[in-house]
Amino acid sequence: MMKVTTKRHEHKNCRQLLGSLSEYVDGELDEELCSVLEHHMEDCDDCRIVVDTLRKTVYLYHATASTENIPSDIRQRLYKSLNIEDFLEK
Amino acid sequence: MNGNENKVETEGFSLKALQAGDPEEFSRVVDAYSSNIYRLAIKMLNQQEDAEDVLQETFIKAYRGLKSFDGRSKLSTWLFRIATNEALMVIRRKHPEVVSIDEPVETEEGEQEPVEIIDWCCLPENELLSEETKERLDAAIQILPERLRVVFLLRDINDLSTHETAEVLGLSDTAVKTRLSRARLRLREELSTYFSERTKDLREAQLNKSIHASPKEPR
């Protein structure tokens, strides 16, 4: 079930933490800021949702990109343009 | 063996063979990286013909440049650098008004403030990974300014590290992190708007279904 809270993100702390969220989802945020953010999220549903959906956004791009390969006609033309057709796997 | 050679060797290629023009070894490099380079080009340019040109040009330039390639960076980093420059050249040719990739980060628009705060994480996986969603994911990338788009594509689509991305683009690690953060927040916003609409549609469909399935009880 989806949960809608506020439409606007108005808290001052949230704004200050915004720039740290990307590093946080990568697990690369330094320890001190990390605990500040986690403490803040205990009381701030909005930030928790932003973090969760940010993490999911990155995951979705990862998940879909890894399945996308070069189309076989484009691959064939590439090998031809480089004179390495002999090594094109059938 | 010198230390420089190691980077290429750890990728599983022989720099010596490549520099001697061994076509089989070169074809292994093409096989290993052509999908990544194509993915970068097509998502950067959103046009198949241009992406194919960039792909071919990247490997042609790499083949010619191998003799002078010093091996100080990984082959993949070097290839991404050539491809990125090629793609940006296409963009500049078509849209001369687009500013340079080296533009300081301060002059960019600021952080994307979250507007749509809706928790769509628990939508079913088949909904999150549907064909329609994939199209929206691609369309959202196109909304990003080139400076943010290229960082996002290298980091999150092609899985380069922050430092490798910085090396490809000639930026500092900090600039890469800032741009990645801005790109991701904008994409999150786009997807939240989309999934919020989708949820409304799904709810309505469900409601209609339950209305039709159960006849009204007499009062």
B111 and B197 fall within a common domain: yes
Give me chain A's average pLDDT, please. Answer: 87
Mean pLDDT of B81-102: 84
B85 and B110 fall within a common domain: no
For residue A57, give Cα distances in angstroms to B54, B75, B124, B130, B203.
28, 29, 14, 14, 22
d(CA B151, CA A7): 29
Residues of A in contact with B55 (CB under 8 A): 70, 74, 78
Between positions 33 and 72 of A, the ones with CB within 8 A of B are 46, 49-50, 52-54, 56-58, 60-65, 68-70
Structural domains of chain B, count: 2
A13 touches chain B (CB under 8 A): no
- Which of B162, B168, B196 shows the shortest CA–CA distance to B44? B168
Give me chain B's average pLDDT, please. Answer: 88
Is the backbone of residue B117 left (phi > 0), alpha (psi -120 to 50) or beta?
beta
B111 and B205 fall within a common domain: yes
Q: For the ranges A18-22, A47-51, B5-9, B97-101, which has the lowest average pLDDT?
A: B97-101
d(CA A54, CA A47): 10
B51 and B113 fall within a common domain: no
Answer yes or no: is pLDDT of B90 > 90.
yes
> HSE on the CB side for B73, CA within 13 Å?
20
> pLDDT digit string (tens) for B120-178?
988 888 889 899 999 999 999 999 999 999 999 999 999 999 999 999 999 999 999 99
In a domain, residue B219? The reply is no
Of B94, B125, B157, the residue that ends a domain is B94
Can you read off the two tokens belonging to residue B170? Answer: 């000639």
- B166 Cβ partners below 8 Å, 6+ apart? B172, B173, B175, B176
Q: For the ranges A85-89, B61-65, B82-86, B206-210, which has the lowest average pLDDT?
A: B206-210
- Comparing CB atoms, the residue among A28, A61, A78 nearest residue B59 is A78
Residues of B in contact with A49 (CB under 8 A): 117-119
Give the domain range for residue B140. Answer: 105-213
B7 and B77 fall within a common domain: yes
Q: What share of chain B in percent tops pLDDT 70? A: 89
User: Per-residue confidence at B4, pLDDT binned at 50, 70, 90?
Assistant: very low
How would you class B186 by CB atoms within 10 Å of its CB: exposed for 0-12, middle for 13-18, buried for 19 or more?
buried
List the CATH number of the domain containing B142. Answer: 1.10.10.10
Q: For the ranges A23-32, A80-89, B96-105, which has the lowest average pLDDT?
A: B96-105
CA distance A35 to chain B (A): 19
Answer yes or no: is pLDDT of A88 > 60.
yes
Helices and strands in chain B: count of H runs, count of E runs: 10, 0
Contact between chains at A50 and B114 (C-beta distance less than 8 A): yes
Of B50, B65, B94, the residue that ends a domain is B94
d(CA A4, CA A9): 12
In a domain, residue B100? The reply is no
Q: Which residue has the higher pLDDT, B1 or B87?
A: B87
B46 and B8 fall within a common domain: yes
Q: For the ranges A41-45, A48-52, A57-61, B106-110, which has the lowest average pLDDT?
A: B106-110
Residues of A in contact with B30 (CB under 8 A): 78-79, 82, 84
B90 and B110 fall within a common domain: no
Q: What angle do CA B208, B214, B215 make, to 5 degrees?
A: 105
B126 and B189 fall within a common domain: yes
pTM: 0.87
Q: Which residue has the higher pLDDT, B111 or B26?
A: B26
Alpha-carbon dihedral angle through residues B29, B31, B34, B36, given to the nearest 10 degrees: -90
In a domain, residue B99? The reply is no
- Comparing CB atoms, the residue among B27, B137, B188 nearest residue A87 is B27
B66 and B140 fall within a common domain: no
B87 and B161 fall within a common domain: no
Residues of B in contact with A61 (CB under 8 A): 137, 156-157, 187
B149 and B185 fall within a common domain: yes
Unique residue bearing structure tokens 């910085």: B166
Three-state DSSP class for residue A4: strand
In a domain, residue B114? The reply is yes
> pLDDT digit string (tens) for B41-83?
999 999 999 999 999 999 999 999 999 998 888 999 999 999 9
Contact between chains at B129 and A64 (C-beta distance less than 8 A): yes
Helix axes B23-45, B75-94, angle to 10 degrees: 40
B81 and B126 fall within a common domain: no
A2 touches chain B (CB under 8 A): yes
Of B48, B66, B94, the residue that ends a domain is B94
List the CATH number of the domain containing B45. Answer: 1.10.1740.10
How would you class A83 by CB atoms within 10 Å of its CB: exposed for 0-12, middle for 13-18, buried for 19 or more?
exposed
